[in-house]
Chain A
Amino acid sequence: MFLLVFKNFSRNFLSPLFTLLSTYMAGLVVGLFWHPQLTNTFIIVCFFLVLGVYALLKKRPGLSGLALFLGLFLVGVLSLTHYLRPDFPAHHVYCWAQNRPLTMEGFLYRPAEYLPQKTRLYVRAQWIVISKKKYPIAGNILLTIEDVQESFLVYDRIIFSTRLRKPHNFGNPGGFDQVRWLAFQDIYVTGYVSKEQGLVRLGVPQSRSWLRKIDAFRSTIREIIDSSTSPPANSFLRALLLGEQGVVSDEINESFIRTGTAHVLAISGLNIGIVAAFFYFLFCRLLGFSEFLLLKANVPKLAATLSVLPVLFYSLIAGAGVSVQRAFIMTVAYIAALLFNRERNLYHATALAALVILVIQPPALFGASLQLSFVSVLGIVFFAPKILSLLPQQDKLLQKLDPPWWRKLKHQPFIFLVVTFSAMLATAPLVAYHFSLFSLSGLVANLLIVPLAGFLIVVMGLIGVLLIPFSSLNRCFINSRLLLGLFFIFRASCRISPLKLPPSWQAFPGRVFLSPPPHSSRCFFSISLLSLFFAGNFIAGRKRSSLSP
Chain B
Amino acid sequence: MILLVANSFYHHSHVKPPALLVTFIDVGQGDSALIRFPKGKTMLIDGGGFPNGDFDTGKNIVAPFVLRQGIWRIDYLVLTHPHPDHYYGLRYIAKNFSIKEFWTNGDTVDDPYFLELEKILTKRKVVIRRLSNGSPRMLIQGVSINILHPPPGYSGSGQGVDARLNNKSLVIKFSYGNIRFLFSGDIGVDAEKMLLSTGEDLSADVLKTPHHGSATSSSIPFINSVGPRAAICSVGFRNPFNLPHPSVLERFQKKGCTVYRTDLNGAIAIATDGKKMQVQCLRQDRKPGDF
Contacts and interface: CB of A to CB of B under 8 A. Distances in A.
Interface string A145-173: 00000000000000000000110101111
Nearest to A436: B67
A469 interface: no
Given A117-B54, A514-B72, A172 B291 contact: no
Given A428-B4, A514-B67, A170 B266 contact: yes
A150 to B, nearest CB: 20
The 7 closest A-B pairs by CB, nearest first: A171-B266, A174-B68, A171-B26, A518-B7, A436-B67, A516-B70, A172-B267
B259 interface: no
Contact of B63 (A115, A432, A436, A525): A436
A97 B291 contact: yes
Contacts of A115: 54
Interface of A: 97-99, 115-118, 165-166, 168, 170-176, 250, 425, 428-429, 432, 436, 438, 513-519, 522, 525-526, 529
Given A425-B1, A518-B7, A175 B65 contact: yes
B265 A171 contact: yes
A436 B97 CA distance: 12
A429 B7 CA distance: 10
A303 to B, nearest CB: 38
B76 interface: no
Contacts of B122: none
A174 B52 CA distance: 25
- The residue in B61, B64, B65, B237 that gathers the most chain A C-beta atoms within 10 A of its C-beta is B64
B3 A429 contact: yes
Given A116-B54, A175-B64, A170 B291 contact: no
B101 to A, nearest CB: 19
A165 B290 CA distance: 11
Contacts of A173: 65, 68, 267, 282
Interface string B268-291: 000000000000001100000001
Interface residues of B, number: 35
15 contacts: A165-B238, A165-B291, A170-B27, A171-B283, A172-B65, A173-B267, A174-B64, A175-B26, A176-B64, A428-B1, A429-B3, A515-B4, A515-B7, A522-B3, A525-B3
Interface SS of B by simple majority:
loop
Contacts of B69: 516
Contacts of A165: 238, 291
B8 A514 contact: no
B25 interface: yes
Interface in B104-162: none
B105 to A, nearest CB: 27
A249 B63 CA distance: 20
Contacts of A517: 64, 67-68
A114 to B, nearest CB: 14
B71 interface: yes
Interface in B1-22: 1, 3-4, 7-8, 11
Contacts of A118: 54
Interface string B55-67: 0100011011101
Interface string B66-99: 0111111000000000000000000000001100
Contacts of B28: 170
B266 A515 contact: no
A174 B26 CA distance: 12
B119 to A, nearest CB: 13
Contacts of B42: none
B287 to A, nearest CB: 13
Nearest to B71: A516
A165 B56 CA distance: 22
Contact of A515 (B8, B52, B265, B283): B8
Contacts of A97: 291
B214 interface: no
A8 to B, nearest CB: 32
Contact of B238 (A99, A171, A425, A429): A99
Nearest to B57: A170
A172 B1 contact: no
A97 B290 CA distance: 11
- The residue in B27, B96, B265 that gathers the most chain A C-beta atoms within 10 A of its C-beta is B96
A170 B26 contact: yes
Nearest to A516: B70
Contacts of B184: none
A172 B54 contact: no
B217 interface: no
Contact of B68 (A170, A250, A428, A516): A516
Nearest to A166: B291
Interface string B214-240: 000000000000000000000001100
A102 B62 CA distance: 34
Interface string B228-256: 00000000011000000000000000000
A525 B262 CA distance: 34
Contacts of A432: 4, 7
B3 A174 contact: no
Given A171-B262, A172-B267, A516 B65 contact: no
A436 B26 CA distance: 20
B61 A522 contact: no
B182 to A, nearest CB: 23
Given A115-B54, A172-B61, 12 more contacts: A98-B291, A165-B238, A168-B238, A170-B27, A170-B28, A175-B64, A513-B72, A514-B72, A515-B72, A516-B67, A516-B69, A517-B68
